[in-house]
């Protein structure tokens, strides 16, 4: 990677590529010479005239940094992501250009896992649907239909990384029979390993998706996997919308071929398929799994730490592997 200058007066520019938390934007601007590319009236002109000065780029997991932007910044040495996911940046392309890449791992594991378990309970016990039932004044007319028991069920974790493990630890508290499908079996967990997503779905009452996004996992939860989950099975997705074949999910929900789904992520955010908006079987959340004051602050601190370290020493605090 390009070494950053240690003399603060000679420090290069930090290019902010996408909107970030206002407090993070402020802190970046106070500590570094920062330019918000997305707010410039003519970003192309800036890149033509000032590209040489940019040594680091900060972006969100949603936007990443395009290859064409990396190519336009000859001195770029680091791309710092706000978020654990970084599939929107082509890391191989960055590496080939000598650019290091970081994300914000670990600090969001608990909140994402909390929300996954909350979503699972919500759809199995139909909490949001029952709330709508009460608000609509339907309670007096008929008792609410019976729902699925949560405790003791078989749950499959698709992607046993840091977040998947945090979900599994929580589910142990509900006496659940936990299985997982990941890159391969691991020896440090007591859970059952299943080699394919289809087998995991076939064996379990619910599947929680926590696998990383990107080309390698696109469409992993296919029509076949949803059929294996079956009409009594539930899906929770706190990973990326791209991991699920969304048209297949819409069809499965509409036709009652799965029991329900809790979705925090979608294929084309913020657009949500109309059929899902109209379904009572799904809990729909606006990509907020890490969205707590505490976690977003910790993510912002990690972004600042990465930028600071890079500007001072030319290395990142939490580089992606």
Interface residues toward ligand DGY, by CB under 6 A: 61-62, 83-85, 108, 290
Planar angle of CA 135, 141, 145, nearest 5 degrees = 80
Smallest distance from ligand DGY to CB 85, Å = 3
By beta-carbon proximity to ligand DGY, the closer residue of 84 and 316 is: 84
85 or 119: whose CB is closer to ligand DGY? Answer: 85
Rounded Cα distance, 291 and 258, in Å: 28
Nearer to ligand DGY, 127 or 284 (CB): 284
Q: How far is the CB of 285 from ligand DGY (least distance, A)?
A: 12
Instruction: Please tell me which residue in 39, 172, 269, 294 is annotated as part of the active site.
Output: 269
Q: How far is the CB of 288 from ligand DGY (least distance, A)?
A: 9
Please list, in sequence order, all residues whose beta carbon lies within 8 angstroms of the beta carbon of residue 8, skipping any fewer than 6 positions away: 311
Helix orientation angle between 109-125 and 162-172, rounded to the nearest 10 degrees: 50
Name the packing angle between helices 22-31 and 293-313 (round to 10°): 20
H/E/C letters for each residue in 158-217? Answer: ECCCHHHHHHHHHHHCCCCEEEEECCCCCCCCCCEECCCHHHHHHHCCEEEECCCCCHHH
Nearer to ligand DGY, 182 or 237 (CB): 237
Minimum CB distance to ligand DGY, residue 70 (Å): 20
Please say if 32 is a catalytic residue: no
Closer residue to ligand DGY (CB): 11 or 59:
59
What is the spatial distance between Cα 114 and Cα 235, in angstroms, rounded to a whole number?
16
Whole-number minimum distance, CB 87 to ligand DGY, in Å?
9
In angstroms, the CA 229 to CA 222 distance is 11
Distances from the Cα of 41 to the Cα of 36, 37, 116, 125, angstroms:
10, 9, 40, 50
> Is residue 278 annotated as part of the catalytic site, yes or no?
no
Question: Which lies closer to ligand DGY via its Cβ, residue 115 or residue 178?
Answer: 115
The answer to whether 287 is a known catalytic residue is: yes
From the list 79, 75, 65, 69, the residue with the least C-alpha distance to 5 is 75
- To ligand DGY, the closest distance from the beta carbon of 146 in angstroms equals 34
With a CB cutoff of 8 Å and minimum separation 6, the contacts of 83 are: 60, 61, 62, 103, 104, 290, 299
The least distance separating ligand DGY from the CB of residue 212, rounded to whole angstroms, comes to 9
Q: Which is nearer to ligand DGY, 34 or 242 (CB)?
A: 242
* Catalytic residue selected from 32, 36, 81, 240: 240
**Coil, helix or strand for 11?**
coil
Rounded Cα distance, 303 and 72, in Å: 23
**Which has the closest alpha carbon to 320: 41, 79, 6?**
79
- Active site (catalytic) residues: 240, 269, 287
């Amino acid at each position: 990677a390009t070494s950053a200058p240690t003399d603060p007066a000679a420090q290069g520019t930090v290019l902010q590529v996408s909107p970030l938390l206002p407090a993070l934007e402020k802190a970046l601007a106070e500590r570094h010479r920062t330019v918000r590319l997305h707010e410039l009236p003519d970003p192309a002109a800036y890149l033509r005239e000032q590209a040489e000065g940019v040594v680091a780029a900060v972006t969100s997991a949603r936007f990443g940094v395009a290859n064409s932007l990396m190519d336009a910044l000859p001195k770029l040495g680091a791309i710092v992501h706000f978020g654990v996911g970084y599939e929107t940046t082509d890391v191989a392309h960055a590496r080939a250009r000598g650019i290091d890449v970081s994300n914000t791992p670990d600090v969001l594991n608990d909140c994402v896992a909390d929300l996954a378990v909350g979503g699972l309970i919500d759809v199995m016990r139909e909490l949001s649907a029952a709330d709508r039932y009460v608000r609509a004044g339907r309670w007096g007319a008929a008792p609410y239909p019976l729902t699925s028991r949560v405790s003791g069920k078989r749950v499959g974790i698709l992607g046993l990384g840091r977040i998947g493990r945090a979900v599994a630890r929580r589910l142990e508290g509900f006496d659940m029979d936990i299985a997982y499908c990941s890159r391969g079996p691991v020896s440090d967990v007591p859970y059952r390993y299943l080699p394919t997503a289809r087998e995991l779905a076939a064996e379990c009452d619910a599947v929680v998706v926590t696998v990383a996004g990107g080309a390698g996992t696109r469409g992993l939860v296919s029509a076949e996997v949803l059929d294996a989950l079956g009409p009594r099975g539930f899906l929770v997705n706190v990973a990326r919308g791209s991991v699920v074949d969304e048209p297949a999910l819409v069809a499965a929900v509409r036709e009652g071929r799965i029991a329900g789904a809790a979705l925090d992520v979608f294929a084309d955010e913020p657009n949500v398929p109309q059929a899902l908006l109209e379904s009572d079987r799904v809990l729909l959340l606006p990509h907020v799994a890490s969205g707590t004051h505490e976690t977003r602050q910790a993510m912002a601190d990690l972004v600042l730490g990465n930028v600071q370290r890079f500007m001072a020493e030319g290395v990142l605090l939490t580089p992606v592997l």
